[in-house]
Amino acid sequence: MSERKLHSARLDLRPVKLSDLENIHQLHSFPETDRFNTLGIPENLEQTSAVISEWIAIHEKSPQRNFVFVVHLKDQEEFIGLIALNSGKEKFNNAEVWYKYHPVHWNQGYATEALKLILDFGFHQLNFHRIEAGCAVDNIGSIRTLEKAGMTREGRKRQVLPLSSGWSDNFEYAILSSD
């Protein structure tokens, strides 16, 4: 597995490991994080383990163009969330970012800080031309995070997200390497 690690002023990002199983399962089980979850809540640890195993397998591919990182506070092992960067088709030289954080760590700037770190990594180390993200139109926290990180809202897809509350529209965001 890739041992690539990223660091910012307050955060350390490292590749996901099987030992993160309980933290990741718990993260996906909070009603607050489930509100905008399109994947659904894993019913048990075995389902969560299967997802993590897929992420680890992605890290083992060469060349590595997809990354799922555990986010924790600098020099601490306290799990605060996940952030990922997944490449698109090579011809388009683009990627998509997604993230999810423990509700206790919301509204402290961690999501924005980690997103800026991932964007920098994507543009300066992986040489992507464009990085995209999407979020439900009612996900105010994620909208703020994307905009604070410098991403531009480019559009709105109607009723594309199958949330537990019903179909939701999705805002589409992007940032270019030249921005």
- pLDDT for 2: 46
Going by C-alpha positions, the residue among 151, 155, 41, 43 that lies closest to residue 100 is: 41
C-alpha angle 144-110-151 in degrees, rounded to nearest 5? 35
φ, ψ at 64 (rounded to 5°):
-80, 125
33-51 pLDDT per residue, tens: 777 877 666 778 888 888 8
142-152 pLDDT per residue, tens: 999 999 999 99
Answer yes or no: is pLDDT of 1 > 50: no
Q: What is the dihedral of CA 152, 179, 112, 172, to 10 degrees?
A: 30
- pLDDT for 167: 94
- pLDDT for 41: 65
Domain 6-176 has CATH 3.40.630.30: yes
pTM of the entire predicted model: 0.91
Answer yes or no: is pLDDT of 29 > 60: yes
φ, ψ at 154 (rounded to 5°):
-110, -20
Answer yes or no: is pLDDT of 136 > 50: yes
- pLDDT for 40: 65
Higher pLDDT, 2 or 72: 72
Average pLDDT over residues 76-95: 92
Distance CA 177, CA 6 (A): 19
The mean of the pLDDT values for the chain is 91
φ, ψ at 91 (rounded to 5°):
-55, -35
Average pLDDT over residues 169-177: 97
